[in-house]
Structures are given as C-alpha cells and as structure tokens.
A and B are shown apart, each in its own frame.
Chain A
Amino acid sequence: MYLPDFDYYAPDSLAETCEGLEHFGAKAKVLSGGTDIIAKMKSGLLNPEVLISLKKLEDLKKIEYVSGKGVVIGALSTHNDLVNSKILNDKYLSVSEAAHNMASNQIRNIGTVGGNLCNAVPSADLPPILIALGATIKLVGTKGERVMLLEDLFTGPMKTVIAENEILTEIVIPDQPSTGSNYIKFGLRRSGALAVVGIAVAVTVNGGTFTEAKIAIGAAAPTPIRARETEKFLQGKTISDDLLAEAGVIASGESKPISDIRGSAEYRRDLIRVLTRRALHKAINEGHV
C-alpha cells in the first residue's frame, strides 16, 4: 500500500479553492483531514491527480452561536473540536457525544465534520444526529452558494449533491424548541468501530406528549434516513413504554439495511427496533445527551 503521486494545492481563499476545483474538474478532490481520502488513495479506491487542501481556510474552523441563526459549525472543525466545544456541550451535548464515540482519539484530532458529511458513507456517525436536529448546510461554489437541509445532501453511498466546484463550508443547527436529543451508536467494540447501526432522535415533549419527534438512522439504507412513518406515528401521542416500543417496530420496518461483515440485515433491523426505543427514552428523560 502506498500513496500514489498527486499534485497538491492549499489555496488561501474560498474563491480560489472553488476556482481550482472548477479548473481541474473530475481530476481533483478536496482534502480536509484526510482520514478517509488518504486511506482510499492508498488502497487504490480513489486516484485523484490533484488534491486541494482546505487547511488554510481559517474561517471554516469555528463553532459559534449566532443569535437568530443557531449554532454554526465550520466544516473544518475536527471531531475533537465538537467534543470540546462549550457551546455544543451546553446546547447539544448529543452532538459532542456522537463525535466522542467516533473512531479513536488520533482520528478525532484530524478528521473533520465536513469530511464526515461529504464522504457520505451510510454508517457515518455525525449525519444522523445533525439531521435529527434539523441541521442545514451551506455549499459554496464558483457560481455562488446554496443552503439546504443536511438530509438532502446524500444521494447514495459515497454520493452527494455537491458539484465538482463546490465545497461544504458550514453546518447550522437552528434554534429549536426540541427538549431532548440523543445518538446511540451500536459498534462491535468500544473504540475504533464503525456503526452497525446508529440512531439519532430529537424530541419536543410537552406535558407527557410528543409535539414532535425526529428520528434519523445511519447504516440502515444507502444514505442516512429519516424514519418519517415513525415520526408521524409519534406526533401528538402520549408517551408510554408501549408507545416507544411500537415506535421501534415501525422504525425497524422503515429501514432497508444491508448485510455486510459487521452485521446481517436482519440483525440491523432488530437493533433499530431496540435502539430507537432506547434513544427516544433517553431523549425524553435526559434532554440533549
């Protein structure tokens, strides 16, 4: 295994970055933390002639609260930035916890949230919790920028709507009435394991009934998915153990997992049933954890 030759650019500005991407077209790839792309290049899965690094785009390394907008997370924030952000710890500890349960400390120090989203593998840990919290993303290209819901980013395994000349610059978790959120990753060991399934929920509970519930599931389909039937089922209902158990059954039915070396489809479906119930329970009782 060795890294094939490539040309390397590290532009100083967003505009130059996008121009560079446009110029090289399909030959170029964005390099962020490199924890995914470098491994793929070494094993021959990807062979870009040019890597354009984002590392000089200091503006994309931030996590801040902008009132009226929400929590703004720059695409270059590392997983450990999410883990250690006071803003996230206070408002959405569930996001920090999701980041904390990823990979290993070494990877968390260089892997970025932008890379995790743009890489678009179904088992990625950050999409479900960010989708459940209604996050939006900003894509900037040579022809301007666009903002969309994160859940609309993914079109298939390792496929997104991002154009060749675009990069993802920020993620925004909007201000919201939700009262609790939570991500449960089911991995096959306690560190350095990819999700067999990952369940994120964000609930708005009022006096024992669901005003709203959002459920996003990873490793359950070609892209991270929303469990919309389950969400609909829960809306307006009074919370009870039976209700949460039934929600698990519906979510399981909505999923379309595959069998791979980490687990069979049948196992994954049952895990979704169990973990959806547990995640809801936790979000209801413990807030954003």
Chain B
Amino acid sequence: MSKDYAVIGKNVPKIDGREKATGAAKYAGDLKFPNMLFGKLLTSPHAHAKILSIDTSEAEKLPGVKAVITHKDVPALKYGISPARWDENIFCIDKVRFIGDKVAAVACIDEETCYKALKLIKVEYEVLPAVLDALLAMDEGAPQVHDEYPRNINTEIHQNFGDLDKALAEAYHVRNDYFVGQRTYQSPIEPHSAVSIWKDNKLTIYSSTQSPHYFQYYIAREFGLKMGDVRIIKPFVGGGFGGKLEPTGLEFAGAVLSKLTGRPVRTFYDRHEMFAHNRGRHKVYMELTTGVDKEGKILGVHANFVSDGGAYTSLGVATSYYAGGLLTLTYEFENYKFDMIRVYTNLPACGAQRGHGAPQPKYAFESHLDNIAKDLGLDPLEIRLRNARQPNTVTINDFGINSCELTACLEKAADISGWREKKGNLPKGRGIGIATGSFVSGAGYPIYRNDLPQSAAMIKVHEDGTAATLYTGAVDIGQGSDTALCQMAAEAMGYRYENMKIIAADTETTPHDFGAYSSRQTLMSGSACKQAGEEIKKQILDIASTIMSLPPDDLDCRLGIIFSKSRPTAKTITFEEAARRFFVLRGPLLGRGVYHVPRLGGTFKGAAVATSPAYSFCAQISEVQIDEETGEVDVCEVWDVHDCGQVINPMQLHGQVHGALYMGVGEAIWEEVLFDDQGKILNPNLGGYMLPTALDMPIVHSELVESFEPAGPWGVKEVGEGATNPTMGCFNNAIYDAMGVRIDSLPLTYEKVWCAMKEKREGKTESNTEV
C-alpha cells in the first residue's frame, strides 16, 4: 500500500481486541435477559422414517416446562436459503430425513429441565430404508428423500463452452483422472446460539449469524412479518466459515417459543448438535478429462462431478455451480464442459464452507495437472506458468478478470521456497508440491433475487467532532471487518482510526449489507464505507473553507488536520473544530455510502454464480516429510503468495491466510465427518473429528505480490477464502513428489499414504488411468 495513506495499509490494533482478549466480549450464548427461558430441539434418531405420532403430554406436565411445540404449532411454509429449492420445514411434518432432523422443541425455566422434557416427548416412527451413498441415490428404486425430486436429483448442471470434443480430438495428450473429496465441517469455536424475543408484533433475535440480512428476510418470510418488524442483531461471533449463513431451527423454533410464552428464549446447539445440523463441505466425486498440446498448454477440460448434498438444499445449488464455475479462473483454456449432479441423501445437509465449492475440485484439478505434467515430462511449476491466467482477460464462462498477478505469485513462491533447487533434489520421503487458487471478492449477485445494493454505510460525526461512528451492516465474525472498515472510513474522512466507533450488523440501526460470505466485505462494504467517508470529508472541507477563508478545493484533511494544499504554511484547523461548527450551523454531520455491483457475467443458465467484481489469485508451495513405513505425513512448511490487491491491514490479512491454511491443512490431511451404516455421525466432537492442533501446523510463510484492483476501493480484493483453495491439491502433489504415490481421495490420511506405498511396492497398478 502506498505510503501516501495515513490510516489504511497499517497494522492498527483490532477495534475489539481488548474486549475479546479480556473475555468481556459477549457472544449470543452469553446474553441474559430478565425472565429468559431456555429452549432445546428434539431431533430425529433415524436417518429416514415416517412420523406416525407425537405425544407431548408428558413433557407438558413436567414442572418448569413452559411450552412444547411441534409442526402443529408453526407455519408449514417451507424455507431454505436457495430460493429455487425451499425444502425445509421448521419441524418435520410427516417424515424425518436425517439423524438430527427437527421434530419438536421445548422452552423451560432452565437448561436441565429442557433435557428432561425432551426425553418425555414420545415420537412414534416407522423406519424407512435410507439412502446414504450419493452414487446409489440416483438408482431406480433407491429410497426417495423428497417426493418432489425424482431419483434424488437436487441440482443438475450441464454447461458447455467452446468445442470440447474438437479440443480433445486435436490434443497431443488427453488424460482422465478420478478423485473423491470428503465431507468436512466448519467447526467454528463458538457454537450456534440465538436469543429470540417476540413481543407485541415485533420479533428481535440476537444470533450468532454471518448475515443479519438473510436471517431477517427468511424469518420475516416464514412468519408473514414485515421485514421492518424483524430485528436481527449480531453480538460477537466466534467464527462461521459458511456454517452460520442461514437461519436454523434455533431462530425459527426460538421465535415461536418466545411468542407462545411471552418471554425471551435462548436456544443453542452443543458441539454434537452442531455436527448434526452440519451444512459443512459437500463430498464431491470428481472426474476430470483434459487435453493438452505438446507444450502442456491446456486445450480443453471436462469436469464431471457428483456431490452428496445430504437431506436438504441449504446453499448447495450455489455450491454446485461454484464447483465447476471457479475451475476456469487460474488457468486459461477455451473449451470447457461442466456436468454436475447434486443428490439428496439421508445425511445432514451440506452447505457453504470457506472456499465455497472450490477446494475439492481444486484438489482434483491440481493433482490432475501434476499427472499431466509428469506424462509430458514437465516441471509442475512450468506447466502452471504456461497456463497461468493473465490480467484483463475473460474466462470461457464469462468472468471478467481485471487484476491478476498469478504469474508473479508462482515466480515468487518458487523463489522463496527454493522450488528450483529442491525439486528433484530432496531426499526420499521429502517432497515439495505446488498449486494455485483464486476466489471471488464477493458474489456478484445476492442469494435470493433482489435489487438491493450489495452494501450501504453511514457515518455520524459526534457534535464536538471527537468521535465518528460508522454504521454498517457488514458482519465481523472474527475476520476483523469492523477494524478494516473503520480504517477505510477514517482514511476517506481524513480522520483518525483511534477516534472511530462502530455499530455493525444490526438490521434496525445499521444500513443494509448482505453479510460475511464470499469474501465480499473488504471490497463491497469497504466501497460503501469509503463513499460515506468521502461525503463527510467533502462537507467538513466545505465548512472549513468558510472558517479558513480558503477555497474548498485547496483544502484537504489528514489524520484530523485540515490544511491548505497550496500554502503549506497557512494555519491549519482541526477536524474537531470544523465538525463542531458544522453541527452548530447545519445540524448533524452525516455521510452516506452505497455500493452496487455492475452487471456481471454471461447469459447462460447459472451464469450469475461465481461472478464477482474482482478475483484474488494465489500460489502455494508446500513441503512434506513422509514416514516411509507408517505413512505419517509431516506437513513441514508452506509458502503462500497472494495477489489480493492493495492491503488495508497487513496483520489481519496474514491472519486470514494463516486461518485459511489451517483449515486447508486440516481438510487436506485430517478432517472428515464419518458416518456409520445407519447414517449416524461417528465423530461428532472435537476428540474424534481430527482438527489439526497447533503442534500439527506447518511453518507458514505468507507473502504478497504488488497488485492493484481497479474494481475495489483503493485497489483491494479478497483474501479470506482464497488461501484454502490450493492447499489440498498442494499437499497431494507434495506427497506424490515425496513418495511417487498419488492419493485419489481426501483426506490424505496416514493410512491412505501407507496403503498407496504398499500397493506401489507390491507392483499394483496406480488407480489413476491414462487415456
């Protein structure tokens, strides 16, 4: 970031750092209200069953129970987050579709009574055969998860760009590979909680949410309320990663319980319930066929995927489009076919998880590309350099790319990791791998169709000018948007970060913003905040010009000092003085900003998904050490080089890279939600679900390349999700380099590595075939 800036580009202290570090910060589950009740949900113990009857009479008799509700007490209107597929009910009406599906809820005077009451609800089920395997779900005669969706097909995509058949026919080499991903779970440290207060005709919900707006819209819709009568407030949130983007039974049931009892109701998940609710990453089955010329230039690609969506849609329609849509970003090719089927199964629903849809296809493609490089005798770095996307290009599926420094990222990653010295020269058991990634800087279109701007912001300067409050709908869930947006507002105003206050993510007091997802806030919310700040500055300079008797055009304001640009010796005044005078003479000093995305993308079906005003790019290199006998993978070191445009707060940026890598490393080697043959999760806790620990993390080098994005305020673009995308493929390639074995399913566990090495020793053929 250029040195001309006073506030942005600097490591200012996090605006909420002290509160969080001292434990003063209050999360939804910490909130207490007079007379508050506790609510819990009763969920299905069967993966697929008819509900024959529900008897709540015993539960109602238990002292301390204030309300017991089932589907009879709530609207029957189906909801969901993907508009084309509203397929969930607040409570199941005639059948349950996965272990954990919502059946009833209670509100009681304390938590303990809730558990006792839940045990007293008698539900009679008729167990139905369940479909637990996505590849069998489409078979004739397979159990039907939803009657409305024959053969359990939830989403089907067939996109065709250019002439793939011709490209493959003319290719020097065509390769076909098959890879399988895994279901993972976001595992935010803060469990989901909500406090619902339905009083008179107004519903207020404090929720651990990534998007007050979508919660407000869908909750108002469900209960037939005006959006203005639903207020969603986000307290501190301990991580979301995509899992807190849609309202859950906690809000829907909590609202009804509050309405019935006339008291605030706190509903919450424990860790097991979080896993059961899930909405984690889809498991995708991925077939890739690619044709290249002699030099390794990619001519055409066919991506043929099936994904296991679980019992409901959640965000899965978008996930499915993203899975193939984003594959065209990092490498340039002109012929592309993308086929995808997302199927329903009797497992918990999958949704959006950091890198939405992209990481598993990226794992497959980056592994596939290394296979091709090997077939051609090319260095993996070289094949990537030959195909790397260039700036000011348009992908075959109509995404416009402005800034793109992928080539520079690859070169720098190679330099700082010592790729050229290491490649081919490491001792056996040690390997180095490379992969690239890219991600949207905010989805070009909202989740449900509407014409609202992406983001809006207001700034109110205190009457004596000693503080300014930024009002934004942007949602800080730990990533630090409150800090970055205050920096941006202060920069635009010519003010000081230290004097900024923020009120964010409350649908009643803050202007609209779609929330924290698709890495959108720095670019989109940032644009609105910048504009609001500029409006303040314009007004402050205007009043200052009357005080200073200088033309407003000659004035500027920096760090709260207003000065003449042409007369450096002219007397300056402070922002405070000018602001105070403004208030006295003209009333409140307010700034407003709004950000609309320009129309983006093509006209084919699904063209809207994965459009964005700007795309980040990155290259990753990782080094591993494999225990040749046990298969144990030591993830030694990772080099991540990002093109994320200009940087507002370097420390937060590198924090995002570390966090994204943490998730990527976990999903690469360790994490998987496992089920038994009845559809029950075997590891719904942090003991069994293998998140890496601090001791397991590699040494991380996070570096940047110089880049400026014209579509972003001050040239910014995304970083939060992009660094998750290359990681799994990168590690697979490093393992291949170390041991000459290719693991074709995630996670790349020690046992799979052991097994692949054993098969190689025993001379069994590699599972990946060459066409």
What residues of chain A have their CB less than 8 Å away from a CB belonging to chain B? 1-2, 186, 188-194, 261, 263-264, 267, 270-271, 274-275
Contacts and interface: CB of A to CB of B under 8 A. Distances in A.
A142 B670 CA distance: 48
Given A2-B111, A2-B112, A191 B270 contact: no
Contact of B692 (A189, A263, A267, A271): A189
B743 to A, nearest CB: 14
A188 B750 contact: yes
A259 B629 CA distance: 19
A261 B683 contact: yes
Nearest to A277: B629
Interface in B614-638: 629-630, 632
Given A1-B270, A261-B682, A267 B112 contact: no
Contact of A188 (B115, B682, B686, B690): B690
19 contacts: A1-B270, A1-B272, A186-B632, A188-B670, A188-B749, A189-B670, A189-B693, A189-B695, A190-B695, A191-B693, A191-B695, A192-B686, A192-B693, A261-B682, A261-B688, A267-B751, A267-B755, A270-B758, A274-B630
B674 A261 contact: yes
B687 interface: yes
A189 B686 CA distance: 12
Given A186-B630, A191-B695, A263 B751 contact: yes
A189 B115 CA distance: 34
Contacts of B517: none
Nearest to A263: B751
Nearest to B628: A274
Interface of A is mostly: loop
B94 interface: no
Nearest to A273: B629
Interface residues of B, number: 27
Nearest to A192: B693
A69 B115 CA distance: 51
Nearest to B634: A190
Contacts of A271: 630
B696 interface: yes
Contacts of B695: 189-191
Contacts of A191: 693-696
Interface string B380-416: 0000000000000000000000000000000000000
Contacts of B696: 189-191
Contacts of B241: none
B218 interface: no
B115 A2 contact: yes
Interface string B661-700: 0000000001000100000001100111010111110000
Interface of B: 111-112, 115, 270, 272, 629-630, 632, 670, 674, 682-683, 686-688, 690, 692-696, 749-751, 754-755, 758
B750 A274 contact: no
A1 B191 CA distance: 13
Contacts of A194: 687
B754 A267 contact: yes
A263 B631 CA distance: 12
Nearest to B631: A267
B754 A193 contact: no
A264 B690 contact: no
Which of A186, A194, A267: most chain B CB closer than 10 A? A267
A269 to B, nearest CB: 11
A2 B755 CA distance: 40
A264 B674 contact: no
A194 B674 CA distance: 17
B315 to A, nearest CB: 28
Contacts of A186: 630, 632
Contacts of A274: 629-630
Given A189-B696, A261-B674, A267-B751, 7 more contacts: A186-B632, A188-B670, A194-B687, A267-B755, A270-B754, A274-B630, A275-B630
Listed residue (B115, B630, B632) with the most chain A CB atoms within 10 angstroms of its CB:
B630
Nearest to A103: B687
List the 9 shortest-distance A-B pairs measured between CB atoms, nearest first.
Answer: A190-B695, A191-B693, A274-B629, A2-B115, A267-B751, A189-B696, A191-B695, A190-B696, A1-B270
A60 to B, nearest CB: 27
A148 B694 CA distance: 41
Contacts of A264: 751
Nearest to A278: B629
Nearest to B694: A191
A267 B690 CA distance: 18
A1 B276 CA distance: 13
Nearest to A5: B112
B277 to A, nearest CB: 14
A1 B686 CA distance: 14
Contacts of B690: 188-189, 193
